[in-house]
């Protein structure tokens, strides 16, 4: 490490070197050393010849965007390390397939290799650190690069400090976990705003604005029908705006997006049907169920109940995430099929409307998917590729809307069902008269509140686990207890005004994380490439901006009506498919139809027999099918209990498989060996 710091202090660091090949990069570095009088001009040809000869033997690109060319000659007096960051990466033949962006040139006399061994190990460790690689890529000067290196220097271990309470560790004290969450996240609070001031945040905001507005309007419309107009689109938009902004400002994990979800919609509809059957005023009863639910959630947060999520593993996370992804895809496809059914029945639309709706939906999905993957392309410069990838979904929506407007007069499409003006859906007062119910209703409301609490608890915490997954490479800490308490408070607030209850929305939250992620392409052992998250710009700005725009949409209702509903169906399809990526369950599910000789060389394929592998996947598939069947049945109100039952099912499976098999199939994160290294 000290040698690397000396390189920074001696001005042996070159940033943004324009070199399309390794030969040109090394030549530029040697010329720079001559200019800095660290190398004699008459020695430069010998050094270049030795480096070129070494490169012919085998590539010096060792992975993680790193190449380490080296030469040891009598004409060099002392060991030195020259560091260069290339302006544009190039394929130097690294084993992980990643473009080379950093060249560490090692020079010295014939006896210097031994002195450089420690430095070489330090370089390899540094470049294997995703966060360091991100900091090195964004460093504006040698001093900033030096700071990043110095921050990772080993220091003498002082007396062991008191254990830090983090994440899901049980404190055993009332409000212990809640206080720990606040302390842990408070240290990053100001930085959360600074990290949101960049173009990637702008692209994320515009994408998530439409991605959150569409479900708000669609779920609001569905809730309008299921509650007899007592809660509708306006209430859903207002709740999304207010709760979203408050959550982004006050929460511990601001990357989570709150929103209406299918399970909460079903629960509210069933509650309305029961109240209507029993002759109970719905909104006051709804308010009391919400009050009790909020109180129960606050008690759960105060008693560290979220620590129970330690028993939820990748097995349960994958099933829940798969269910939400399937719901989004199903809703998109179902809505398009309904348009064709209407055309077939001759209901005020023709087949031209149905086919154009299908083309717009598929066009939105195709453009968004293609542009989002454009960062892997060889076309254009990296800045342009990054811009198109970040703004891909927004460009897809605008382009497909423009096409629809061109055909508007000839083929009228269903517009986005935005309300005409700002007021409650039924014209009622905003504040619910929650005292206008018999005393017994107030106490009986505890029963449905218990079920609702289980649903919110699981929905919120499972989504938080998925967002905080080690695969997403987040660094600012978890805050399960704080976020659960905040959601409980927001449920109470929404209940008082007859607004829908919002919880962590899985697909929208994961898309929020991915839209803020900086990724690199990694080649696994099977030769297949996949995106590896290098860094996520964790911030509060995008959450605040997204929900303020959603609130502002109430002022732009005439403009929003020009966006065809079919375009939003395409966005639903895109979000559902994107959220499937990275879900190991779908990867293993595809193996059921794959030639065994062509299985990827992933850790679970290497360590688990084929029969056990497929049995584990089949168990997950059966759980997914059962959850879907319950969600669409008359037992839908018990849906949260069946999600909780996934935990004991996981314990039963642990008895059916060998411990080493379960460790591979249900690992919290992929083993380090899965990331091809410089070895």
pLDDT of residue 290: 95
Q: Pick 2-150's CATH classification: 3.50.50.60, 3.40.50.10710, 3.40.930.10, 3.40.50.2300.
A: 3.40.930.10
Give the model's confidence band at 521: pLDDT under 50 very low, under 70 low, under 90 confident, else very high.
Answer: low
pLDDT of residue 255: 93
pLDDT of residue 678: 29
Q: Report d(CA 582, CA 525) in Å as an integer.
A: 17
pLDDT of residue 416: 65
Backbone angles phi and psi of 173, in degrees to 5: -125, 145
Average pLDDT over residues 41-70: 87
Average pLDDT over residues 480-486: 94
Average pLDDT over residues 652-666: 86
Bridging pattern class, strands 13-17 and 80-90: parallel
- Looking at the annotation, which residues are catalytic? 70
Neighbours of 541 (CB within 10 A): 21
Q: Has this prediction a pTM greater than 0.85? A: no
Average pLDDT over residues 426-435: 86
Q: Contact, 459 vs 487, CB < 8 A?
A: no
Q: Contact, 551 vs 126, CB < 8 A?
A: no
Backbone angles phi and psi of 617, in degrees to 5: -65, -40
pLDDT of residue 154: 66
Q: Report d(CA 320, CA 7) in Å as an integer.
A: 50
pLDDT of residue 419: 58
Euclidean distance between the first and the last CA atom of the chain, given in angstroms as a whole number: 20
Residue 534 gets which letter from DSSP?
E
Does residue 164 carry a pLDDT above 60? no
Residue 535 gets which letter from DSSP?
E
> Three-class SS of residue 633?
coil
Does residue 653 carry a pLDDT above 60? yes
Does residue 354 carry a pLDDT above 50? yes
Which helix (H) or strand (E) is 106 found in, with range? strand 100-108
144 vs 632, higher pLDDT: 144
Least confident of 41-55, 156-170, 259-273: 156-170
Average pLDDT over residues 182-210: 89
Question: Mean pLDDT over all residues of the chain?
Answer: 84
Average pLDDT over residues 471-500: 92
Does residue 526 carry a pLDDT above 60? no
Backbone angles phi and psi of 415, in degrees to 5: -85, 170
Q: Report d(CA 389, CA 375) in Å as an integer.
A: 6
Tokens 């031209």 found at: 352
Q: What is the dihedral of CA 527, 530, 533, 539, to 10 degrees?
A: 170
Does residue 161 carry a pLDDT above 50? no
Give the model's confidence band at 238: pLDDT under 50 very low, under 70 low, under 90 confident, else very high.
Answer: very high
Give the model's confidence band at 308: pLDDT under 50 very low, under 70 low, under 90 confident, else very high.
Answer: confident
Which residues, 6 or more positions from 206, have their beta carbon under 8 angstroms from its beta carbon?
391, 393, 394
Q: Report d(CA 340, CA 356) in Å as an integer.
A: 11
Spell out the domain ranges in the chain. Answer: 2-150, 176-674
**For a pLDDT cut of 70, what percent of the chain falls above it?**
92
- pLDDT 10s digits, 111-142: 776 677 777 888 888 888 888 888 888 888 88
Q: Report d(CA 246, CA 543) in Å as an integer.
A: 9
Give the model's confidence band at 524: pLDDT under 50 very low, under 70 low, under 90 confident, else very high.
Answer: low
Q: Cα separations (Å) of 546 from 5, 198, 354, 393, 583?
A: 42, 15, 31, 15, 26
Give the model's confidence band at 600: pLDDT under 50 very low, under 70 low, under 90 confident, else very high.
Answer: confident
């Amino acid at each position: 490490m000290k040698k690397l710091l000396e390189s920074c202090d001696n001005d042996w660091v070159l940033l943004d070197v324009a070199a399309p090949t390794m030969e040109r990069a090394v030549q530029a570095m040697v010329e720079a050393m001559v200019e800095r009088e660290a190398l004699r001009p008459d020695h430069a040809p010998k050094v270049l010849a030795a480096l070129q000869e070494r490169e012919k033997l085998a590539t010096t690109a060792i992975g993680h965007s790193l190449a380490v060319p080296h030469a040891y000659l009598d004409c060099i007096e002392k060991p030195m390390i020259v560091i260069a960051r290339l302006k544009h990466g190039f394929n130097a033949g690294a084993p992980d397939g990643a473009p080379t962006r950093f060249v560490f040139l090692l020079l010295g006399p014939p006896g210097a290799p031994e002195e450089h061994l420690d430095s070489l190990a330090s370089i390899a460790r540094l470049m294997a650190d995703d966060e360091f690689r991100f900091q090195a890529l964004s460093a504006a000067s040698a001093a900033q690069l030096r700071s990043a290196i110095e921050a990772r220097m080993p220091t003498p271990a002082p007396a062991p400090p008191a254990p830090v309470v983090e994440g899901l560790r049980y404190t055993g004290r009332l409000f212990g976990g809640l206080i720990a969450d606040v302390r842990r996240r408070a240290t990053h609070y100001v930085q959360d705003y600074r990290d949101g001031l960049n173009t990637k945040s702008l692209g994320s905001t515009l994408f998530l604005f439409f991605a959150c507005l569409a479900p708000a309007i669609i779920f609001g419309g569905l809730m309008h029908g299921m509650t007899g107009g007592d809660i509708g689109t306006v209430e859903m938009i207002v709740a999304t705006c207010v709760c979203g902004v408050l959550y982004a400002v006050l929460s511990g994990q601001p990357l989570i997006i709150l929103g209406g979800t299918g399970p909460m919609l079903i629960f509210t509809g069933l509650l309305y049907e029961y109240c209507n059957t029993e002759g109970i005023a719905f909104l006051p009863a709804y308010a009391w169920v919400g009050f009790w639910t909020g109180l129960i959630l606050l008690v759960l947060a105060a008693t560290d109940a979220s620590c129970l999520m330690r028993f939820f593993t990748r097995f349960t996370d994958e099933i829940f995430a798969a269910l939400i992804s399937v719901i989004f895809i199903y809703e998109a496809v179902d809505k398009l099929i309904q348009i064709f059914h209407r055309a077939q029945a001759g209901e005020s639309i023709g087949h031209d409307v149905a086919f154009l709706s299908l083309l717009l939906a598929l066009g939105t999905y195709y453009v968004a998917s293609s542009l989002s993957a454009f960062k892997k392309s060889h076309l254009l410069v990296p800045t342009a590729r990054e811009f198109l990838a970040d703004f891909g979904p927004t460009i897809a929506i605008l382009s497909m809307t423009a096409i629809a407007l061109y055909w508007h007069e000839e083929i009228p499409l269903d517009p986005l069902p935005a309300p005409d003006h700002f007021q409650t859906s039924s014209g009622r007062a905003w504040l619910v008269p929650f005292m206008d119910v018999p005393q017994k209703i107030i106490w009986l409301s505890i029963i449905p509140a218990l079920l609702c609490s289980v649903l919110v608890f699981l929905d919120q915490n499972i989504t938080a686990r998925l967002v905080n997954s080690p695969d997403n490479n987040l660094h600012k800490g978890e805050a399960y207890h704080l976020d659960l308490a905040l959601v409980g408070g927001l449920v109470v607030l929404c209940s008082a005004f007859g607004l829908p209850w919002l919880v962590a929305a899985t697909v929208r939250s994961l898309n929020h994380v991915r839209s803020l992620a900086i990724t690199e392409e990694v080649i696994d052992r099977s030769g297949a490439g996949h995106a590896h998250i290098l860094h996520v710009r964790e911030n509060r700005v995008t959450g605040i901006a997204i929900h303020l725009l959603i609130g502002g949409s109430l002022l732009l209702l005439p403009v929003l009506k020009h966006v065809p509903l079919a375009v939003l169906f395409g966005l639903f399809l895109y979000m559902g498919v994107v959220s499937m990526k990275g879900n190991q369950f779908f990867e293993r599910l595809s193996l059921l139809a794959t030639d065994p000789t062509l299985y990827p060389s992933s850790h679970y394929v290497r360590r688990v027999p084929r029969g056990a592998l497929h049995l584990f996947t089949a168990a997950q598939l059966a759980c997914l099918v059962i959850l879907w069947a319950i969600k669409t049945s008359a037992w839908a109100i018990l849906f949260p209990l069946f999600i909780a039952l996934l935990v004991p099912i996981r314990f039963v499976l642990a008895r059916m498989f060998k411990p080493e098999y379960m460790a591979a199939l249900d690992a919290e994160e992929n083993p380090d060996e899965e990331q091809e290294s410089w070895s």
